[in-house]
Amino acid sequence: MSIKFNIDRPKISDQEINKNKNFNELVEQFKQHSLKKANADKSWWKNKIIRYSTIILGITVICSVSYLSIINNQKNKRQAISTNQSIKTKNKAFIQTPSKKITIPNTKYKVNTNKNTTILHTSNTKIKIPKNSFVDKNGKDIIGDVTIEYKEMLDIGDVILSGIPMHYDSLGHSFNFESAGMFNIKGHQNNEPVFIKQNKKIEIELCSKNNEDIFNQYYLDTVSKKWNYLRKDIIIKNQLSHSIQNKNEIKLNEILSQSKKLNTLKKEITIEIPQKIDSVNLVCNKSIDKLSKGQIPYIPIKSSPDKPTFKIDGSFDEFPELMAFKNILFEVGAENKNYSKEIHEVTWSNLKIKQGTIKGKNYLLELSYRNKKEKLIVYPVLNETDYKIAQIQYENQLITYQKLLDKRLADEQRLIKEMETKQKFYLAEIKKKEAAYNAEKLKLIERYNLEDQNELANNFKSLSNVNRTTRLFQISQFGIYNSDCPHANSKGIEIKPIFIINETKKSLKPDYIYLINHDNKMVYGLNAIEATKLNYEPNGNYSFCIFHKNILFICSKNAFNETIDKNNCQFILQSLPKMSENIIEFKKALEI
């Protein structure tokens, strides 16, 4: 019998390959078939041509099956890898909250669909819902109560905790949002979602902390993963509820006014210590007044031979400066226009001396005789002999006076210095009391916020921002809305940040990275790839907020600036595990 080799054998089908994928089973079948054939025809194996052909054919079949199986397995592996990657991409949430420990909770409200309803949220936001506004997934009207779930994000801290992306693409350009307020609203009945009826709109008066008129309204399409522009913002300024604001002010003022510690400190600051300061000042002035002032010695003047003089016998008790001289004469001043020599010929019956036009220099001499009266301005003078004696006397008196004056000035400076030292002490006491007062006041305010956080915390913040702005939204579908101003991404200085934990000095690969621009109140959410390099504006005010395994890490504004000033890229992180569980503490850590 001649042997035929089928060289152009048809390609093995996938069905046949799958059937024969078990290599061991195939070899066993081939072996059993060969033995059976050999036993049936013993002369068959003796034929060398048949023997070699059979071996070759067996090897060919084995190699073909093995080769095809390897190719098929590699193909299946590639498909499995591709499928897993698709599943990972598909399962990655578009909105990812950075922490499981601290989140912004939904507030739930029950709404009766049979009547118009206005919900007043804790932030003073109003949600106005017309009656019969909801349908189910089949478009059928909803009857009965509907649960509305609402939460809002009003500052940088809220935006970070929400996990909502703040980037915005428009006409091929990339922007980042500055938010004036964002909210997420949805509704359901019996755990089934409800929808806003086509001809109805829900009106939301969002109470914003920002009163600028530069924002637009956007809706977040979570399917296409992008923000859609809706319209220019509709704002109503100064719509903060005065009744709630006044209620908060009254309650807070009552707490502060009833504090014994605050009242005691305030009394010390405003009354008791200032009285001590005034008392020290008064005592000092009285002591200075008691110091001996001394008497400036009178300068003797020599008489002029060409001017008339008077010699007066009498007492000069009223003018002690004249008592220092003996044989004093009074010289008639040139300013006397009515003077005549006849005045010397009259025997005047009465004479008075008064202070003249220049105190201590001249005097008014009043002369009278019967009905005749004269007034003269006179100057005290001495004849030449008496003048020489008086001059020596004057010089001695001047030395004594100068010593007395120096002592007085020294005593005066000492008293003033003592007064200033005491006043400094009391002023320092006032500062200490003021610091204690402010610390106690802040403590009471924080306690007040914690005790009534849900209702009053946001209203207390409004005390420092009475010009709050209401931003009006009219929505026809549930979801996430934002009042935003897009800013072009920074093209400033580029850095490649490395994050170092301050406590361990080890580098950190964060789960979530947020770059905060405090100047324009923006948050840049960065992933691991984006954070390999970023841009910042010089002289800007930045910080990092980072989460890793639900733990909060902060690179403060000061730490950020110090790194930049050193042209460094290693940003030092402070771990704050306790602040990772409390919203108020979290926002304090962000320095907002």
Parse the chain into domains and list their residue ranges.
Answer: 14-91, 96-240+466-489, 309-381, 490-592
Residue 330: the pLDDT is: 85
Tokens of 130: 């017309």
Dist. CA 581–CA 225, nearest whole Å: 29
Q: Is the pTM of this model over 0.85?
A: no
What ranges make up the beta strands (E) of 98-191?
107-112, 117-120, 126-129, 134-135, 145-153, 167-170, 173-189
**CA-angle at 519, arms to 557 and 554, nearest 5°:** 30
pLDDT at 237: 61
> What is the DSSP track for 77-120?
HHHHHHHHHHHHHHHS-SS--S-SSS--PPEEEEEETTS-EEEE
In terms of DSSP bridges, do strands 498-501 and 570-575 run parallel, antiparallel, or are they unpaired? parallel
C-alpha torsion sign, points 212, 217, 222, 227: negative
What is the pLDDT, as a whole number, of residue 75?
52
96-240+466-489: CATH class = mainly beta
What is the model's pLDDT at position 317?
65
For residue 553, give every residue at least 6 positions away whose Cβ sits within 8 Å of its Cβ, in sequence order, or none: 499, 501, 508, 510, 544, 545, 546, 547, 573, 574, 575, 576
Per CATH, which fold does 490-592 belong to?
A: Immunoglobulin-like (2.60.40)
Q: How far is 151 from 480, CA to CA, in rounded Å?
A: 10
- Residue 271: DSSP 8-state: I
- Residues 6 or more apart whose CB falls under 8 angstroms from that of 451 comprise none
Buried b (16+ CB within 10 A) or exposed e, 32-60: eeeeeeeeeeeeeeeeeebeeebeeeeee
pLDDT given for residue 40 in this prediction: 52
| pLDDT score recorded for residue 584 | 86
Assess contact for 359 and 379: CB atoms under 8 A.
no
Q: What is the CA radius of gyration of the chain?
A: 52
Sign of torsion, CA 499 501 504 508? Answer: negative
Among 362, 397, 388, 392, smallest CA distance to 376 is for 362
Q: Quote the pLDDT of residue 28.
A: 60
Check: CB of residue 145 under 8 Å from CB of residue 113: yes
State the amino acid at position 525 in one-letter form. Answer: G
User: What letter would DSSP give residue 141?
Assistant: B
pLDDT at 85: 46
**Do residues 559 and 566 touch, judged by C-beta distance below 8 A?**
no
- The rounded average pLDDT for each run of 10 residues, N- to C-terminus, in the chain (592 residues) is 47 52 55 55 46 47 45 52 46 80 91 94 93 94 95 93 88 84 96 94 92 91 92 74 58 84 92 92 90 80 85 68 73 87 81 84 86 88 86 85 89 92 93 92 82 52 56 95 88 88 91 91 79 82 92 93 90 87 87 83
Distances (CA, A) of 267 to 44, 253, 254, 261: 125, 17, 17, 10
- One DSSP character per residue, 326-345 reads SS-EEEEPTT-TT--GGGGG
Q: Count of CB atoms within 10 A of residue 496's CB?
A: 9
CB-based contact 123:576 (threshold 8 Å): no
Backbone angles phi, psi at 387, to 5 degrees: -65, -45
Dihedrals φ, ψ of 112, to 5°? -85, 120
